[in-house]
Chains A and B, each alone.
Chain A
Amino acid sequence: MSGLPLHRRAGFRLSFRYLLAALLVIVFCFPVYWLFIISFKTPDEIFAFPPVWYPASLQFGNYWVLFKDGDAGTVWNSLVLASVSTFFAMILGTVAAYSLVRFKTGGENLAVWIISQRMMPPVAIVFPLFLLYVYFGWVDTYFGLIILYTAFSLPYVIWMMRGYIEDIPLELEESALIDGCSRWEVLWKVVLPMARSGLFATAVFTFIFAWNDFLFALVLTRTEVTTYTVQVTHYFGGQSNFWAKIAAMSVLGTIPVFITVAIMQRYLVRGISMGAVKG
C-alpha cells in the first residue's frame, strides 16, 4: 500500500491517463501536421537539416500553382465520382438489403454470394475491365468510373445494411403497413429513419473507399476524370520529386474526407458500435 490518500492516488492515475492520451494524439497527429506544414514550405525548408518544424513564412504558392494549372480539379473529379457512386450504391444496396431481409430473396445463400464478390482482389479484374471499357468507350469517363465504384461498393453496402435492417423490429413495419403505407413508404418512413446511424456510417465508408481508390482510376482514366490519387503520382518525377506539390495535393485530398467524417461523427460512432454489438 502506498501511503498516499485515496483521492491523490486517483488524481495521479487520472493525470497519467491524460498524459498517455496526449502522447497518443501527438503520435497520430504528427504525420498529418508534417504533411500540412510541408505544403507551406519552400523547397529549401523541405530539405533542410535539422528539419524546420514550422516555416518562417507560409508559401501559399504551393496551392496557387495547383489551382492555376488546373491540377486541383482532380480533387473535384474525385469528389464527384465518390459522392455520386456512394449515392447510387446506398440506394441500390439498401433496397437490395431490405429485400434480402424481409422477403428472403434468394434464400440464405444469395447474401453470402454477394459479400463474396467483395473478396475478389481488384487487381484481378482491372485489366479485363480495361479491355471491356475500351470496347464500350467508357475509359476516362465519369460514367465508367461511377458504374464501377457503385458496383464495387454494393456488396459492402448490402452486407452492412442487411445487418442494420435485421435489427428493426418487424412490428414497426407491420404497424405502418396497416396504417396505410405501401412497401416503399415503409422503407422511406420507417426503415431509413430506424437505420439512420448505420446508413450514414456505411455511406461514409463507401465514400472513403471510392475516394481512396487508386488502382481503377490509374488504369481507367487518362486526362478527363483523373482523380487526385492519380494526380499525386504525377509529381514523382524522373529527376526530382515535387514534395511541396505532393503535400499540397494531399492536403486538398484530405479536406473533404475530414469534413465528411466531422459531420458524420455522431452517426459513425453509433453506427459502428451498433454493428460491433451485433457481431
Chain B
Amino acid sequence: MAMTAGSTPRDFFQASAAGAADHELRRKLENASARHLAHFAEVRGEFTPYEDERTAARAIKQEAIGRLDELLIDLTKRLEAHGCKVFFAANAAEAREHIVKLAQTSGAKRIVKGKSMTTEEIGLNPALEAAGMEVLETDLGEYIVQLRREPPSHIITPAIHLSKEDIGNLFREKFGIPYTPEPDELTAEARERLRESFLHADLGITGVNFAIAETGTLVVVENEGNGRMCSTLPDVFVAVMGIEKVIPKLADLPHFLEILGRTATGQKLTTYTNFIQGPRAADDLDGPRDMHVVILDNGRSAMLADPVLREALMCIRCGACLNVCPVYRHIGGHAYRSPYPGPIGSIISPNLVGSAAAHLPFASTLCGACKDVCPVKIDIPRILLHLRWKETSGPTPPEWPAAARRARAGARRFARMARHPRTMRILSRIAAAILKPVAHDGWIRRMPPPFGNWTKLRDFPRPRPRGRRAVKRQDAEG
C-alpha cells in the first residue's frame, strides 16, 4: 500500500510500457479524461472572468511563496491561539513519527482519513498500521484502492484506472454482496459500511487545501462529506499540510476556490468547503477535543531555493495537468511510482520523494498542454527542461538502463551534429531516401532495429527534408 519512495528508471520503463500496452487501462483513462474535460469546458465556458481569476490566483501564490516565512509565523500564532497544537516536520520521517506518537498518546485505535496526497507522500498509513492501528481511507476512490491494497493513480480521482465492473467485482469479493457494476449501488454500499466507522473512530486525519494566515483558518475542500466527518466526529483531529499551502488573507481565498472547483472536478464550487480554525469550544455539540496541525517541509524549502523550481510550489493540486497530459493518459498514474503522477508529479516527486524519481522529468513530450490548462499558469515545460538540464549536465549515471544511456549518447551526438546545418541536410536526405520504401501513404508504421521500439506504439510521418532552395525561400519570406 505504501508509496515506495520513487523507483529506478528501469522500473519506470517497465511500468510505463505495461501501462501503455494495457489497452483496457487506456480506454478507461481516455473515457474518464474525456468526461472530465467536457465538464470542465462547460463550467469554464460560462464563467467569463476565468482568465482574470487565474491571473489573480497566480499573483497571490507568488506573493505568498515570497513571504512564506512571515506567513507561517502568523498562521502558527493564530492556530495556537485557537487551541491547536502545531508541529513543524522537516521531513517525512519526522512527520510520520509525530503523528504515530499523537495517535498512541491519545489511545487511538481506529483512524479515519480524508483524501490527502501529503499523507501518501510521507507514507503515513503503513506507519500507523505498523503501530497497531486500523486506518481507513474514507474518500470513495481512496477506499476502493485501499481495498485493493494499491496506491491511488490520480490526485483527484484515485481509482481512475478502474472501471465500474472492476469495482463491482472488488465489492463482491471483499463484502460477499451480489455483483453490480452500478455506480449508485456501489456508492450506497460504501456509505453504509463507512458510516459506522465514522461514528466510532477515535482519530481523524485530513489534508489541507489552503491555510489562511490572516485568520488562522485551514480550508479543506471536498465533495463527499467524508472530510467533514473526519474533522468533526472523532475526538482528535490531525490536519497535515505542506508549507506552501499558506495564503495571506481571507479575501484571497475566493480566487482559488473559483478556479479549483472548475479545473479539478468541473464544478463552480466543490460541495463542501470546510473552514476549520481549531478544536471545539467547551459547550459545542461536536468537533474534536484536540486538534493538531502538522506543517511539512520535506524538500519544499529546497525547491524554494531554486529560482526556476520555486514556481512549482504554486501548485494547488487540481489534477488538470494530469488529465490533459498525453504521457499520463498513455501510461496511467501507477507507472510514476509516486503519489504525485503526471506533469506536476514529474517536477515535485524528485524533490519530495527523493532522487529515486530523478528520471521523471524526462517522461514528458513538452507539448505544453499542462501549462495551458494549469489554473495558476505554472510553466511546467520550462521547469521540466530545467530539471533535465540539472540532471544531465554531469556524466551519465551508471545505474541508468542501457537504453537510456544509449539514448543520451545519441542525443549528444545529435546536438553536436545539429550545429552544422550542411551536414544535417545531407544526412536527413539520406535518411529520407532510406525510409521512403518503408513508408505507406506518407506514414512509417514499422522501422528496422534498433529503431523498432519507436514504432511499436506510434506511427511516424515520413520525413520530407526541405531542399536548400526551399529553406532559402522561407528565409527570404521571413
**Do the two chains belong together in a single complex?**
no
On A, residues with C-beta under 8 Å from B are none
